[in-house]
Structure 1
């Protein structure tokens, strides 16, 4: 993997900018039998993890507008591989044998092809491996742990119906393991309760009718280098209390709960196979303070945008919520089949 430096874009008016850190992207690719596609790297001194099994990926280049563009370009260049559904999964703090640590945005996607049909341009080979084999491979411990955590999510049913298998007996049951990921329609008919994640979002308009949006850090596990509402998840608290806390912690804005009103909800499946989410949007009629970047690992800038000239890329359901608010609608469904 190569180190790289994101290229900063031009800053719009009223924007507070923090320089993004250097970042890389890799693809965690799995098939319907629960195996993972691994890349055997060249055994050349001086490169990252020589002679080891790793995920496909690499460093961001100046023309890449996002880390998703980076990983899609790397997959095309390294293996001629195109995976339509890639979603952020985690940020791996990869550590080389010399002690160097590099943050890597991991995207997960499903593919069931034959690696022998791919035209590999870097490294030695690509091969499918079952999880129980990986501890015997020459592989960075952080990568092995990442794959283990993904396997646990699969087996727990977060990406598909949970099979009654363990690493020890997976080989004997691979042929009957249900495909992953589970689609929303399958989730709805499986007969199992599926908790929904509750998110809260701040819709803030200034005196000029401009909307406050934040540019997410390129290493963010969700929507890296994408504009979004100030948002967060409820933590044993009411939705309004969560909104007030997140506004203070993320941007230094002080909001009285009495000045908060509900304006929209988006009930969505953001990525097929992931838990459904209820995204609540609240408007603050009044607030105190000027937006500050207080959590630069999550958001690198705050900007005010005219609703008819919103930035790109913008989280799709955030755009849908803004459209709904401007039209006077209170509810939107997104991503359901």
Structure 2
């Protein structure tokens, strides 16, 4: 499907807002947008559009292709083909064909985004061999940065004399109009974020995710993702981009404080490398009360729920990293963020943890937590998890299977001890419930090696070190028949 006429018109008008003096020069192009023929088709005469890729490296040099046979030195460019969705994707296709630079090797610039840096008008001589008459090209020139340094070039070589690549400084660029605009620009060849997304959490271990529409042609259709989007020419900053996107997607969602968290790289719908500034912010509202104007729904999810969702691995990793960082700061396990001390008169919701007590021939099952774990790394602990929107026993049954492959029937579970613990003064209290399973199926296996390095049966009079303190307290309570322990109060 060729580029839509409206998209081309928007590109031209955006360009003319920056260069109003060129309106007269582009009158033919503006007229062609209202003509019957497709302005992107090479059969449209006496003029039609072409696309060029202006590729800039970190030394502020522009890629040129030297055609030895004819002596021409040109930036990669050519006609728009039927399968090109936009003039920009035509430029990406051409630079891949001519130089072997794939879209993932390139990224947009914050200054020009998807708009052309230059529109050049040049005459094309008649070609008597094909019967093509004299006509004009309106060449839309899109600027890109190299995303990861210099890729290995694979030059198209269809001429007897061959071709070679040249990287030229701005003042050596062949095209006079492009050269002038490059010299007048602040382009430096160093990629910067052009998209912004919001990592919104409630301060208690849950993250707000957006189920996107399952439409072709949008980013991550039908998947859960963060709210956010791409920068537009009128945005004064990336935070302004994000706040505009939030207002457009979810009117009424107010996140007062947004803090830059990390810059991630993703692949855009055109295959381009897209640096994204991730902002973190806290909000504690009910997403069902918001008016969602884009996508299907908004929901809170804990990190432990992410494996059930259709979402990118990058998004899953991002949420888990933020949860681990928050837990490290606040002294709790990942996915259960400790809040600051509440203001007077405000209630504090306790975190509910569930723990599996398995006994076999006088030995108890413990797991060695991964040393990189934000909570109790390198220590021995119960198989454990945090309650989501589920019963405590339902959580225990789920965690036992997810973490160790153990199948436990809810009827075979009984509560044997509870530890009410505060890790440090002012931190959020945690109600740690320990359940005994009288029967189970399966042998403990490492299903989440990023969390647990080993499962092992330990004699209760010879427990390993280091061991999580409240785990030892719970085991002591179970042995003595005590049902409740307080720690840290």
TM-score in terms of structure 2 length: 0.32
Question: Which has the higher Rg, Structure 1 or Structure 2?
Answer: 2
- TM-score of the two chains, using structure 1 as the length reference: 0.45
Higher relative contact order (Cα pairs below 8 Å, separated by 6+ residues): 1
